[in-house]
Structure 1
Amino acid sequence: MKKNVVALDIGYSNFRVAYGQGDKFKSCIFPAGVKEGHSCNIKAKEEHDPPFCVNIGGISHIAGIEPMQTETRALHRWYIESDQYLALFYAGLIQSGYSKIDCLVTGVTMSEYLEGTQVKQLTKMMTGVHHVAPNVKIEVDDVHVVAQPFGSYFNSILRNSMDRFLSSVLVFDAGFYSLDWALFHKGKIIESTSGSSMLAVSMVLEEVSKLLYKDCRMALPIAEIEAALRKGRNYVFCFGKKHKLDSYIKRATEKMSTEIYDTILNRLRMSENPVDIVVLTGGGVVYYEDIVRRIFPSSELIIEPDPLFSAVHGYYHYGLSKQG
């Protein structure tokens, strides 16, 4: 009998789930907002649609809502210790529909992976029996925690020739909370030249908010700008006037580009191998493409065709590979 695999990419803006058995799997994406819910009805899996109702410490929480609908939001390096993260983890388990999960794979930022503490912490926290709701429990047998860029690297290998990826490959993952990059040489992470930066999408949107305020004197929350972009709406309203976000995003990224440029090149200067291929992925692909092309003008650039799902699909296939 085939074992099942569940892959979770629990981000700060969205969380993604991939689940299935063998090559047949499903994947989905939901907003990463969580709040306490006083009237939260738990439904059977076949009846369930997000938002998800989960139980944490005897208190009902609603998970999978827009962050702008929440009162508080975790945007810090201790995210995995927050009720928000735990609620999204439970929501991912529920979405899979399994009462027992044979293999679960998730990821952490590159810096967290290198430091190691959160890898051990997450592995321990996710393994075992979880009482996700009253009278609902889900057991997780085997847990693997990898570096966030590894998921996209593994996924890119499946889509391309393995021979191409035996050279030096840099995966650049532009997330909401962090920018993560990992240099792979002959399939192995070169830790000394890999890392993370906080100059991520959230910082871009924070700068966009400041620029909008200068133009229209209206303080728009980052979550409101984020929600507009998530819905494919490339504008916001300030006092009834439409402001397109393209120019603001370009100005914001240009302002941050020098610092990003210096941060990455300072780490890569220790590498003995030139970067042959750059894989660009993550929700912030459109914000960072120009910066990446500037840093690596001679490298082949591969932009993941489905950047929001690249990591979680890689996690899933990695989980399959661990089954032998």
Structure 2
Amino acid sequence: MNVLGIDIGYSNLKLAFGKAGHNPQVLLRPAGAAPADRLGEKISGKAEDDFLRVMVNGNPFVAGLSPDRAELWSRELHEDYPSTESYRALFHAGLLLSELDQVDVLVTGLPVNQYLNPDLRERLQSQMQGEHQVTPRRRITVQQVKVVPQPVGGFVDHVWNLTDASEFEESRVLVVDPGFFSVDWVLISHGELRRQSCGTSLEASSVILDEAAKLVANDFGGNIGRERLENAIRQNQTEVRLFGERIDFASYLKKAADKVGPIVATRLRESLRKENAGADIVLLVGGGAGFFEPSVKEAFPNLKVSTSDLPVFANARGFWRIGA
């Protein structure tokens, strides 16, 4: 059985794919997508090979490139993202990258506030299921689609990799998933989702990057921009250039996270007030986990705070586990 876990984020496209019964392969690509004619031309004239060319509604798109590469095309940063052509282009790119002609089970996630809307869940499920013309000569069929709350994937992935999972299975686990557009959280009690303690905050990684860029501008007189910081982090770089000077941006990210993180931590504490008992464990998943870990630990000083291994892939791996 071919299984695909796909996490189409606002910053990165994450995939986990392969046959059930084996360990999945994982891939990460930037979540930029735009009509093919909006791509800037390389001065060297050499053909690009760092992105994919796909079809969306019969039109050629490029996908899996840095969001700042497209000209006259706005990045999608809103709650209706799954209905956009950019999202569909990334979905088709994910199907291509899986190298599967048929996907028996596809599992994906939605931010918590969107997942709680059954119409949005059903729309995404219907959109992903069926036959897809991903390139002029390639069709890929998706037989079954399951949509889950985004952080649930990270929870399943973490528990799956534990030698002894009894602590997590028997506890009330607050799963916090900091993404680029939103920070989502769910409370899982004895393996069951507590809907009244789920939530979403828009004080996410993009806000931290914007704040860090502003702090750099205050010190050095120019705006490096959110996308340049985002690209540098994705490529594991520690410096960016501004006016010919190399700037180590780690301290600016920390200052920004120290400002934004407590806002989210307050929301987390408020969401647990609806419960008769608080959480026992906090689990951080998602690509922005490192930004928010200090604030979460400060907000819950008496709780064990765990972080998934390679948290950027946690949801996609968990989606694959659910499907397999």
Q: Structure 2 length normalisation: TM-score?
A: 0.92
Distance 1:237 1:39, change over 3 A: closer
Matches within 5 A, 1:74-153: 74-153=76-155
**Where does residue 34 of structure 2 map in the other structure?**
35
Shift of 1:50: 4.7
- The letter for the 2-side match of 1:18 is A
CA contact (8 A) 1:155 1:310 kept: yes
Shift of 1:38: 4.5
User: SS where residue 309 of structure 1 aligns?
Assistant: helix
* Match of residue 294, structure 2, among 290, 295, 312: 290
**Where does residue 75 of structure 2 map in the other structure?**
73
User: SS where residue 145 of structure 2 aligns?
Assistant: strand
Shift of 1:26: 1.2
Moved more, 285-294 or 113-122: 113-122
CA contact (8 A) 1:104 1:144 kept: yes
**Where does residue 5 of structure 2 map in the other structure?**
7
Partner Cα separation in structure 2 for residue 149 and residue 271 of structure 1: 19
How much identity, in percent, do the aligned residues show? 33
Matches within 5 A, 1:271-310: 271-310=275-314
Q: Deviations over 1:103-161 (max 9, x none)?
A: 00000111111223321110010111111111221111100000110001111111223
**Where does residue 43 of structure 1 map in the other structure?**
none
Partner Cα separation in structure 1 for residue 117 and residue 277 of structure 2: 24
Residue 315 (str. 1) matches residue 315 (str. 2)? no
User: SS where residue 6 of structure 1 aligns?
Assistant: strand
* Match of residue 162, structure 1, among 144, 160, 165: 165
Partner Cα separation in structure 2 for residue 306 and residue 261 of structure 1: 22
Partner Cα separation in structure 2 for residue 258 and residue 278 of structure 1: 15
**Where does residue 18 of structure 2 map in the other structure?**
20
Structure 2 unaligned blocks of 5 or more? 40-48
- The letter for the 2-side match of 1:137 is R
**Where does residue 201 of structure 1 map in the other structure?**
205
Structure 1 residue ranges (4+ consecutive) displaced by more than 2 angstroms after TM superposition = none
Partner Cα separation in structure 2 for residue 130 and residue 258 of structure 1: 43
Shift of 1:240: 1.5
Partner Cα separation in structure 2 for residue 64 and residue 12 of structure 1: 11
CA contact (8 A) 1:68 1:227 kept: no
Structure 1 unaligned blocks of 5 or more? 41-48
CA contact (8 A) 1:13 1:176 kept: yes
User: SS where residue 319 of structure 2 aligns?
Assistant: helix
RMSD between aligned residues: 1.6
User: SS where residue 217 of structure 2 aligns?
Assistant: helix
User: SS where residue 12 of structure 1 aligns?
Assistant: coil
Partner Cα separation in structure 2 for residue 118 and residue 151 of structure 1: 18
Partner Cα separation in structure 1 for residue 230 and residue 240 of structure 2: 10
- The letter for the 1-side match of 2:12 is N
User: SS where residue 237 of structure 1 aligns?
Assistant: strand
Partner Cα separation in structure 1 for residue 308 and residue 142 of structure 2: 30
CA contact (8 A) 1:5 1:101 kept: yes
Q: Deviations over 1:37-79 (max 9, x none)?
A: 2599xxxxxxxx7511101122211111111212321011011
Partner Cα separation in structure 2 for residue 257 and residue 136 of structure 1: 44
Residue 189 (str. 1) matches residue 193 (str. 2)? yes
- The letter for the 1-side match of 2:103 is I
How many aligned positions are there?
310
